[in-house]
């Protein structure tokens, strides 16, 4: 066989082709290594003495649907320079691998368009071999994310699997890449990240996070100069949770059967913005009927709508005046839920107002979380936690589409 075909077709160079045959439906190419090209794999010396051979088989790039195997007797040599006895290095395959480098590159190209199972079936190899190739590639590219360029980051947690298992993610808001994946959802999950961040000498300007005491303490302790920003998503989500609790409390206390019937099934209506209500389904009428039944629910709902305007002010000074006015109205309502929430906003006012200096959000992390959940549904298991984390590191380059 021509050396041009060996090199350009299979990525093999520096070997002689002996013969080609077909064994059990597989194309088998036997190669040999010239004696003059043998070198010590430890020191690279040419001063070696042959001491037997060891035959190995390598899976190579298929020809159409025809699988190809390369058989190579690998010389064992005694090095006169360093005295070790070793096999010579195989240039077309990585150490301790049963497939060629060109086969690994081909599998990686297919994995961008197909699932691991589909790639394994197409190439006629095991699922574990394709996973190993992907894991090795991800480790080289994303195993140690560079942190020196970081300026704006977002921190949030995600639930993975059953049993209240959580991962804490740190996202680079400028590139959209995950730069840290930690076990748990407390400050300890970020310990390794802070250590690497300080070593990188990165200058973080702002951090977006929720109002979790653990995250707030971790950021203020390790990044005292960075602005801590509480974004709109988490503030409104927290208020919506409190509003749902208030509706359930009113429903339990309602004694009239008709009142309970009106309140029943209105939870999702309370969480909708007024312009999103569907008039064809009488959603506006049902919501207004529920609000008329209880003054507390009515007040809380419209204060929720007013709070959404906090992020629409012209500047930070107007936003501060708006926030203080909203807190005063919530406290004046004497509704327990609103009074507690007003206290929460007062305690976190600096982080809320910081949004006007650094308009960042953890919203991109929510999109990443959805990608992770999609990846979990499409994958089998992810019992290998290291592989799972590497997939998360590279998820910003991933596109999910319905194929076939």
DSSP per residue, 186-242: SGGGGHHHHHHHHHHT----EEEE-S-HHHHHHHHHH-TTSEEEE-HHHHHHHHHHH
Q: Are residues 43 and 61 in the same domain?
A: yes
The torsion defined by the Cα of 390, 395, 396 and 399, in degrees rounded to 10, comes to: 150
3-state secondary structure of 22: strand
Residue 312 lies in a domain: yes
**39 in a structural domain:** yes
Q: For residues 58 and 70, is the Cβ–Cβ distance under 8 A?
A: yes
Q: Specify the DSSP element, H or E, that contains 59.
A: strand 48-63
Tokens of 177: 């890449």
* % of the chain beyond a pLDDT of 70: 88
pLDDT at 152 over 80: yes
Residue showing tokens 């690998």: 74
128 in a domain, yes or no? yes
Residue 134: partners with Cβ closer than 8 Å, 6 or more residues away: 107, 108, 111, 116, 387
In this structure, the answer to whether residues 176 and 256 fall within a common structural domain is: no
Q: Last residue of some domain: 92, 126, 160?
A: 92
Residue 300 lies in a domain: yes
In this structure, the answer to whether residues 245 and 130 fall within a common structural domain is: no
DSSP state of 148: T
User: Could you tell me the CA-to-CA distances from 290 to 250, 264, 283, 398 in Å, in that order?
Assistant: 11, 9, 11, 44
Q: If pLDDT is split at 50, 70 and 90, which confidence band does 44 have? A: confident
Rg of the chain taking only CA atoms, in angstroms: 31
38 falls within a domain: yes
336 and 243 housed in the same domain: yes
Average pLDDT over residues 229-251: 84
- CA 392 from chain centre, in angstroms, equals 3
Kind and range of the H or E run holding 273: none
Q: Which domain holds residue 197?
A: 152-231+360-397
Q: What is the mean pLDDT of residues 227-253?
A: 84
Angle 116-123/127-142 helices, nearest 10 degrees?
120
Residues 274 and 161 reside in one and the same domain:
no
Tokens 């596109």, located at residue:
399
The answer to whether residues 181 and 109 belong to one domain is: no
- Residue 236 and residue 223 in one domain: no
Residue 402 lies in a domain: no
Are residue 173 and residue 215 in the same domain, yes or no? yes
Is the separation of the CB atoms in 111 and 119 below 8 Å?
yes
Task: Identify whether residues 216 and 244 lie together within a single domain.
Answer: no
Least confident span in 144-153, 257-266, 363-372: 257-266
Looking at the predicted structure, is the pLDDT value of residue 262 above 60? no
CATH number at residue 188: 3.30.420.10
Q: Are residues 351 and 237 both part of a single domain? A: yes
**pLDDT digits 0-9 by tens, 70-103:** 999 999 999 888 888 988 989 999 998 999 999 9
Q: How far apart are CA 347 and CA 126, in angstroms?
A: 56
The residues, ordered by sequence, that sit 6+ positions from 150 with a Cβ below 8 Å of its Cβ are 172, 179, 197, 200, 202, 204
**Do 275 and 319 belong together in one domain?**
yes
Strand segments, DSSP code E, in 112-203 are: 152-159, 166-172, 178-183
Residue 403: predicted pLDDT: 47
Examine the domain organization and report whether 156 and 77 are in the same domain. no
**Residue 261: pLDDT band with limits 50, 70, 90:** low
Output the pLDDT for position 404.
42
The pair of structure tokens assigned to 217 is: 């303490």
User: Cα–Cα distance between 54 and 59 in angstroms, integer?
Assistant: 17
Query: Which tokens is 385 given?
Result: 């936690």
User: Considering the domain boundaries, does residue 147 fall inside one?
Assistant: no
The structural domain count of the chain equals 4
Residue 403, domain member (yes or no): no
């Amino acid at each position: 066989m021509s050396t041009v075909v060996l090199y350009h077709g299979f990525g093999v160079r520096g070997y002689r082709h002996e013969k080609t045959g077909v064994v059990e439906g597989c194309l088998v190419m036997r190669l040999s290594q010239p004696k003059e090209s043998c070198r010590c794999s430890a020191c690279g010396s040419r001063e070696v003495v042959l001491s037997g051979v060891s035959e190995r088989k390598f899976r190579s790039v298929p020809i159409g649907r025809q699988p190809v195997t390369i058989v190579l007797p690998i010389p064992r040599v005694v090095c006169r320079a360093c005295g070790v006895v070793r096999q010579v290095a195989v240039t077309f395959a990585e150490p301790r691998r049963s497939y060629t480098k060109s086969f690994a590159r081909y599998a990686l190209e297919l994995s961008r368009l197909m699932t691991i199972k589909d790639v394994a079936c197409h190439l006629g190899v095991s699922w574990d071999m394709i996973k190993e190739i992907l894991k090795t590639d991800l480790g080289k590219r994303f195993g140690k994310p560079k942190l020196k360029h970081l300026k704006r980051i977002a921190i949030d947690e995600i639930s993975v699997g059953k049993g209240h298992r959580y991962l804490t993610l740190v996202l680079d808001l400028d590139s959209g890449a995950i730069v840290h994946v930690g076990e748990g959802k407390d400050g300890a999950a970020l310990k390794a990240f802070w250590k690497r961040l300080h070593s990188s000498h990165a200058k973080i300007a702002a951090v977006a996070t929720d109002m979790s005491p653990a995250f707030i303490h971790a950021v203020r302790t390790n990044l005292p100069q960075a602005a801590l920003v509480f974004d709109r998503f988490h503030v409104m989500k927290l208020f919506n949770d409190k509003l749902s609790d208030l509706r359930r409390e009113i429903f339990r206390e309602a004694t009239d059967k008709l009142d309970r019937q009106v309140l029943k099934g209105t939870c999702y209506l309370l969480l909708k913005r007024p312009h999103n209500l569907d008039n064809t389904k009488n959603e506006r009428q049902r919501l207004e009927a529920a609000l008329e039944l209880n003054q507390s629910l009515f007040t809380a709902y419209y204060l929720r709508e007013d709070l959404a305007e906090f992020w629409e002010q012209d500047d930070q000074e107007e936003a501060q005046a708006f926030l203080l006015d909203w807190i005063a109205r919530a406290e004046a309502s004497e509704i327990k839920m609103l009074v507690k929430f007003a206290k929460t906003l007062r305690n976190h006012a600096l982080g809320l107002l910081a949004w006007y200096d650094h308009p960042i959000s953890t919203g991109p992390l929510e999109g990443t979380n959805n990608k992770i959940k999609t990846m979990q549904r499409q994958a089998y298991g992810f019992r290998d936690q290291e592989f799972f984390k590497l997939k998360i590191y590279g998820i910003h380059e991933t596109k999910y589409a319905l194929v076939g």
